[in-house]
Amino acid sequence: MPKLNQIIAVEKGVKNRSQQELTQAHHDLQKPQLLSGISRTYQPRDEEGERFPPESTRVQVRTQDVLKKTQEILTRLFDVTATKDLTNCHAKVDVRVDGRVLLKGVPATYLLFLEKQLVDLHTFVMKLPTLDPSESWVPDPAQGLWATEPVQTAKTKKVPRNHVKSEATEKHPAQVEVYYEDIVVGYWKTVKFSGALPATRMNDLLERVEKLQQAVKFAREEANAVEVEEMKAGEALLGYLFG
């Protein structure tokens, strides 16, 4: 008895062949000259009359033959596809990760869906934002965020000062130079917040999605290894149609 994966492999070839042969049959039936024939013979009016050889054109395509061939082609396709789909209904396996059953009795068709979804999820996880590694982060449960430790910096203000270069005399005024001095007027306390994830969390998620991908792939391979349940659908359907 063949396995499901063998039927799946055969189905593709049967589909391609059916498509090609049906397309050719359709084209042939659209050419009236292939369906038409003629036979002509010439008989002179008297023995002295000129004689001509017979003429004939052979019918190259018989519609009934095309219908018979079409029925044969589609019967094979209908049977293979019905067998695959029927087996898929019963090909159910468990999805296991680290010995734990996450999903029980999953149909093979759903496993194909999961495989595609997990590819997208892997891409999604890979692009998750992570915390800036140059900072030291601690949880802030009140806001559900990550925060840095407070950093204090001084706030300064430039204050003008006078520098007397020379004192005033009876003949000359004092020479004064103005300069500015930075005076601390207060202090900033800065805390940075972030809604990103720690790199360790992102790596954990990535590991989990990759384990799931592997588990689903193994489950699909197991499902595809079950023996097929044959279903003959083509003869009943096409026998009715072309009968």
pLDDT digits (tens, 9 = 90+) for 58-81: 999 898 999 999 999 999 999 999
Chain mean pLDDT for the chain: 91
pLDDT of residue 230: 87
Q: Higher model confidence: residue 145 or residue 224?
A: 145
Q: Higher model confidence: residue 174 or residue 88?
A: 88
Across the range 137-149, mean pLDDT stands at: 94
Q: Which tokens in the block code for residue 60?
A: 């190259």
Look at the chain and count its residues: 243
Amino acid letter at 125?
V
Whether 171 has a pLDDT exceeding 80, the answer reads no
Could you tell me where the beta strands, DSSP code E, fall in 108-203?
137-140, 145-148, 151-166, 175-190, 193-194
Amino acid letter at 83?
T
For 10-40, write each residue's pLDDT tens digit.
Answer: 888 999 999 999 999 889 889 999 889 999 9
- What is the rounded distance in angstroms from the CA atom of residue 129 to the CA atom of residue 109? 33
How crowded is the C-beta side of 63, counted as CA atoms within 13 Å?
8
Lowest-confidence region among 108-122, 128-142, 185-199, 218-232: 218-232
Q: Show me where the domains of the chain are located.
A: 1-91+230-243, 94-128+198-223, 137-167+176-194
